[in-house]
Homo-oligomer: A and B are copies of this chain.
Amino acid sequence: MKIIGILADFINDEQKTLIKETAARGGYTVDFYMDEADAAQKIKDAEVLYGYWPAQMLKQAENLRWLHSASAGVNTYLDDSVYAHPGQVMLTNSNVYGTTISEYMVMMTLMLMRREPEYMRLMADREWKNVGAIRSIFRSTFAIVGCGNIGTNFARRVKALGAAKVIGIRRTQAPSDPAFDQVVTFDQLPNVVTNVDVLALCVPETPLTKGLISRQVIDSLSPKTYIINVGRGSAIDQAALIDALNQGRIAGAALDVMTPEPLPKDDPLYDAKNIILTPHISGNMSLDYTCQLDVDLFVQNLKLYVEGKPLPHLIDRKIGY
């Protein structure tokens, strides 16, 4: 059953042809599923799956050997229990979101620093007024948790915009991009975040990142600090964040991810002071460039797969990336 099943709405005809041709070299056929219902009927036959897959569908993929996630976040695919035969499944992901998500982070940094939500409210009320002090990326200090594709792209951008210092915080003391002035491991986080202008989170959800920004860490931050989160909501103690915002103990926050999602209409996070929320769209796949990169990366991996070669960037389901 050499079948590749794809559930994705962002692939154009040219890209479909490219995928089919690559697959055919190894004797594979490609099924582009119309929707989840269509996919559910056919998933049993697929040896390879690509796209945005609800984890609860995967149990039916009895022949699955390789799952390539179009999402950078793979936390729902980590547990053995989601698979029919966990031992035989390789997991890879796209990691193509650096450009679009880092642009989101630059935008949010500036919107917080320049008090743009206040100006939008004033203009909506047609009130012409200067709200006072603003700040700038230029000469500011950043702590970036997660030094992968997203964190590195953000570090490069704020450095290019004149940031005074960019500290990377990651799981291991691995080689990092020169845009980071300093790189420390997670255990050092409490020591390096207490006096930064921006604390930016771009880590996947793993046992190590859950609750990393604890109440204790939040309470240790400077009143000048803005928090930005584009990774997973579980990295932050959300109740502690709300308290710190409402009491003015930190300067503001911009969250694209939160707990839970979608956020219930009565959640107090909506009403927190100096907060900007977006509905998990920072890695919006509708950016042509991101789609192209995503398909390119899948096709590169597919070439290796059909030739029986090892796949790069395999995700270790135990550590989560």
Stretch of A41-49, A71-79, A121-129, A204-212 at the chain-chain interface: A121-129
Cα distance A247–B212 when bound, in Å? 48
Convert A99-137 into 0s and 1s, putting 1 for each residue whose CB lies closer than 8 angstroms to a CB of B: 110011011001100101101101100111111111111
The answer to whether B278 and A123 have CB atoms under 8 Å apart is yes
The answer to whether A161 and B130 have CB atoms under 8 Å apart is no
Cα distance A132–B285 when bound, in Å? 9
Question: In the assembled complex, which residues on chain B have CB atoms less than 8 Å from the CB atom of A110?
Answer: 103-104, 106-107, 110
The answer to whether A137 and B103 have CB atoms under 8 Å apart is yes
Cα distance A36–B142 when bound, in Å? 41
Question: In the assembled complex, which residues on chain B have CB atoms less than 8 Å from the CB atom of A123?
Answer: 270, 276-279
Question: In the assembled complex, which residues on chain B have CB atoms less than 8 Å from the CB atom of A265?
Answer: 126
Kindly state whether residue A262 has any CB partner on chain B within 8 Å: yes
A179 to chain B, nearest CB (A): 11
The answer to whether B160 and A262 have CB atoms under 8 Å apart is no
How many copies of the chain does the oligomer comprise?
2
Cα distance A129–B126 when bound, in Å? 27
Question: In the assembled complex, which residues on chain B have CB atoms less than 8 Å from the CB atom of A122?
Answer: 279
Interface residues of A, dominant DSSP: loop
Kindly state whether residue A85 has any CB partner on chain B within 8 Å: no
- Among A136, A157, A262: residue with most chain B CB under 10 A: A136
The answer to whether B116 and A107 have CB atoms under 8 Å apart is yes
Q: Given A135-B287, A286-B133, A289-B136, are A103 and B281 also a contact pair (CB < 8 Å)?
A: no
Question: In the assembled complex, which residues on chain B have CB atoms less than 8 Å from the CB atom of A187?
Answer: none
The answer to whether B278 and A99 have CB atoms under 8 Å apart is no
The answer to whether A161 and B162 have CB atoms under 8 Å apart is no
- Which residues of chain A in 186-241 are interfacial with respect to chain B, using CB atoms and an 8 Å cutoff? none
Question: In the assembled complex, which residues on chain B have CB atoms less than 8 Å from the CB atom of A161?
Answer: 103, 106, 157, 160
Question: In the assembled complex, which residues on chain B have CB atoms less than 8 Å from the CB atom of A278?
Answer: 116, 119, 123
A246 to chain B, nearest CB (A): 17
Question: In the assembled complex, which residues on chain B have CB atoms less than 8 Å from the CB atom of A138?
Answer: 99, 103, 289
Question: In the assembled complex, which residues on chain B have CB atoms less than 8 Å from the CB atom of A276?
Answer: 120, 123
Kindly state whether residue A284 has any CB partner on chain B within 8 Å: yes
- Among A131, A134, A137: residue with most chain B CB under 10 A: A134
Kindly state whether residue A40 has any CB partner on chain B within 8 Å: no
Kindly state whether residue A13 has any CB partner on chain B within 8 Å: no
The answer to whether B111 and A107 have CB atoms under 8 Å apart is yes
Look across to chain B and name the residue whose beta carbon is closest to the beta carbon of A129. Answer: B279
Question: In the assembled complex, which residues on chain B have CB atoms less than 8 Å from the CB atom of A289?
Answer: 136, 138-139
A286 to chain B, nearest CB (A): 4
Kindly state whether residue A14 has any CB partner on chain B within 8 Å: no
Kindly state whether residue A18 has any CB partner on chain B within 8 Å: no
Cα distance A198–B135 when bound, in Å? 25
Kindly state whether residue A314 has any CB partner on chain B within 8 Å: no
Query: Can you list 17 A-B contacts with CB-CB less than 8 angstroms, sorted by A residue number?
Result: A99-B162, A100-B136, A103-B114, A103-B161, A106-B110, A110-B110, A114-B284, A117-B120, A119-B278, A123-B270, A126-B270, A128-B263, A128-B279, A130-B281, A130-B284, A132-B286, A160-B160
